């Protein structure tokens, strides 16, 4: 990898304070770009508009979704802005192109009875109690999976049912959990977690069967196994529970700016997609409930 790209990634990590996952996403995008220009024998510091459009066509032809193409474009715009500031290039050719239109897809979320179905798949073993704790906390707080596995015991205020979360961009916020979640947490922390640790010390809330800190991949694997045991047929991920939390809060009348704060969104526009979900749910209920809504004229 070129020195310029390494310098840019270090800039993102140490000066911009981007998360490890975000920096890794930039790295992947830039590695793919570097492989392309190397294969085409293009000097990336002398790229022109034609070179850039050829690269965008290359991305589109590789069966990449519009959202992924736009992410690549955003990564390269940031990289070339960095090169411009450091006077390594005279201009940024990626500022001249537009990405493909994004697919308008509403976030996938669970109905409450589906969530209860997932809960029923958790048994009373130590791992079963931990798995239920994961579900309950994701549902109660709307945290990202990366934030979930980053929770430390010392971050939790058990009395006031609050957790200090370290989110994207190293920003901290407070999230809350309910009494049901508190009861399961007490059972997990005082009993199941202690037995899973097997005498080890771990500062993180969630641990695996070896007593080590649970990873994002571990949470995804756990959810996948629980779904297989349930009656849920459609595809869901850990992030689905975050979508469920946001949709539920808006459906219950919470102000969108309050939901934005709980989710840790930097922009209100990111949160606003859940209002579309709420409106769609409202429409569905109307069509099911109104006596004239489902009759043929």
Rounded CA-CA distance 182/184 in Å is 6
Question: What three-state secondary structure class fits 164?
Answer: strand
Residue 101 CB contacts under 8 Å (≥ 6 apart), including other chains = 66
Give the DSSP H/E element, type plus range, for residue 100. Answer: none
Tallying the residues shown for the chain, one arrives at 297
Burial category of 210 from C-beta neighbours within 10 Å (exposed 0-12, middle 13-18, buried 19 and up) = exposed
Look-up of token digits 């005082």: 190
Q: Are 212 and 196 in contact (CB under 8 A)?
A: no
Active site residues: 144, 168, 239, 242, 265, 274
> Residue 65 contacts by C-beta under 8 Å, 6 or more apart in sequence?
103
Dist CA 81 CA 94 (whole Å): 9
Residues 6 or more apart from 28 whose CB is under 8 A from it? none
List b or e across 55-76, with b for residues whose CB sees 16 or more CB atoms inside 10 angstroms: bbeebeeeebeeeebbbbbebb
Q: Do 272 and 256 touch, CB atoms closer than 8 A?
A: yes
Quote the CA–CA distance of 66 and 221 in Å, as a whole number: 27
Q: Name which of 29, 22, 23, 19 is nearest 9 in CA terms.
A: 23
Contact by Cβ (8 Å): 264, 246: no
């Amino acid at each position: 990898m070129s020195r310029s790209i390494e310098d840019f990634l270090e800039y993102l990590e140490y000066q911009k304070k981007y998360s490890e996952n975000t920096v890794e996403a930039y790295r992947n995008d830039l590695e793919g770009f570097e492989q392309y220009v190397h294969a085409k024998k293009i000097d990336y510091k002398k790229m022109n508009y034609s070179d850039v459009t050829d690269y965008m066509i290359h991305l589109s032809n590789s069966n990449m979704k519009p959202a992924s193409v736009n992410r690549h474009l955003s990564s390269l715009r940031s990289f070339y802005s960095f090169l411009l500031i450091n006077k390594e290039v005279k201009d940024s050719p990626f500022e001249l192109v537009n990405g493909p239109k994004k697919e308008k897809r509403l976030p996938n979320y669970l109905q409450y009875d589906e969530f209860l179905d997932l809960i029923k798949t958790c048994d009373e073993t130590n791992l079963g109690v931990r798995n239920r704790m994961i579900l309950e906390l994701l549902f109660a707080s709307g945290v990202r999976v990366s934030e979930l596995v980053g929770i430390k015991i010392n971050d939790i205020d058990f009395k006031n049912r609050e957790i200090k979360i370290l989110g994207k961009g190293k920003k901290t916020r407070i999230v809350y959990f309910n009494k049901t979640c508190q009861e399961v947490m007490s059972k997990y922390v005082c009993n199941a977690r202690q037995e899973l640790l097997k005498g080890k010390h771990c500062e993180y809330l969630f641990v695996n069967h070896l007593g080590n800190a649970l990873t994002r991949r571990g949470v995804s694997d756990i959810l996948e196994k629980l779904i297989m045991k349930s009656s849920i047929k459609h595809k869901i991920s850990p992030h689905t529970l975050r979508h469920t939390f946001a949709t539920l809060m808006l459906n219950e009348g919470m102000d969108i700016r309050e939901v934005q704060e709980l989710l840790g969104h930097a922009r209100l526009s990111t949160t606003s997609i859940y209002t579309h979900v709420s409106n769609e749910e409202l429409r569905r209920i109307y069509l099911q409930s109104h006596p004239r809504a489902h009759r043929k004229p």
